[in-house]
Amino acid sequence: MISTMMPPLTMPPIELLANCGFDKTPTSAILFFEGVVLAAVGLGLGFLSRIQTRILPRFLVMAVGVFIFELFTAPMWHNHRLGVWAYVNRDVSWILTIGWSILFLSVVEVVDKLLPSWREWRRFILYLVVLTLLVLPLEVWVVGLGVRSYAPEVLEALVGGFVAGVPVELFYYVPVFAGLVIGFYKYWGFVLEDALLVPVKQIRWGVDS
């Protein structure tokens, strides 16, 4: 006779629950890193407010773009040991989000300020080049601190070597990451500036020139 009774519900073993988490305990070096990020954000916002208007809304827009990208790419890597206060969703950390945001925003606004006569596409390429050069040592730093590590699937898919523990594929990933985030920021920048997206020329129809 086949029993139709459901088996009794049991709690998973403590070991299984423990394996679902990760180490969030920061070291003194990681706490120093977090302090540097917070200080950089404060100083960066103060500096940028002198060269651009409405800098706080602009920073928030950039942070939203960075956070969306981090959220959807979270399975690719792990961000550990930043402290229980530093996480908003699993291992997605607001500390890293605001750090990348102030870096991206600073590069975009400084380049736009220094090179206003350049065509938009030329400035966009310069954004990507500068950010790639800046992100490499920062990524090496977080990897060296033990904050950043890469998912096994990512390590299996790598075809290049490593630079100070960081995959050379970073030179591909950073421009893609930066390009999408900056595109998001530029689009919403039209809303912040209330700019006219489609200029209309005054054409005198039916009148000979």
pLDDT averaged over consecutive 10-residue blocks of the chain (209 residues)? 42 38 89 97 97 94 95 90 92 95 97 95 96 94 92 83 84 92 92 64 51
Are 170 and 115 in contact by the 8 Å Cβ rule? The answer is no
pLDDT reported for residue 15: 36
Only one residue has tokens 């950390």, namely 93
Q: How far apart are CA 55 and CA 188, in angstroms?
A: 13
- β partners of residue 92: 89
The full DSSP string for 145-199 is HT-EEE-HHHHHH--S-EETTEETTHHHHHHHHHHHHHHHHHHHHHHHHT--SS-
**Helical packing angle, 28-48 and 120-145, nearest 10°:** 160
pLDDT reported for residue 92: 93
pTM beyond 0.85: no
Burial readout 71-82 (b: 16 or more C-beta within 10 A, e: otherwise): eeeeeeeebbbb
pLDDT reported for residue 8: 44
The full DSSP string for the chain is ----PPPPP-PPPHHHHHHTS---PPPHHHHHHHHHHHHHHHHHHHHHTTTSSSHHHHHHHHHHHHHHHHHHTGGGEEE--S-GGGEEETTEEHHHHHHHHHHHHHHHHHHHHH-TTS-HHHHHHHHHHHHHHHHHHHHHHHHHHT-EEE-HHHHHH--S-EETTEETTHHHHHHHHHHHHHHHHHHHHHHHHT--SS------TT---
pLDDT reported for residue 21: 74
**Domain ranges within the chain, ordered by starting residue:** 24-193
pLDDT reported for residue 175: 94
Q: How far apart are CA 77 and CA 80, in angstroms?
A: 10
Q: How far apart are CA 37 and CA 44, in angstroms?
A: 10
pLDDT reported for residue 195: 58
CB atoms within 10 A of CB 50: 8
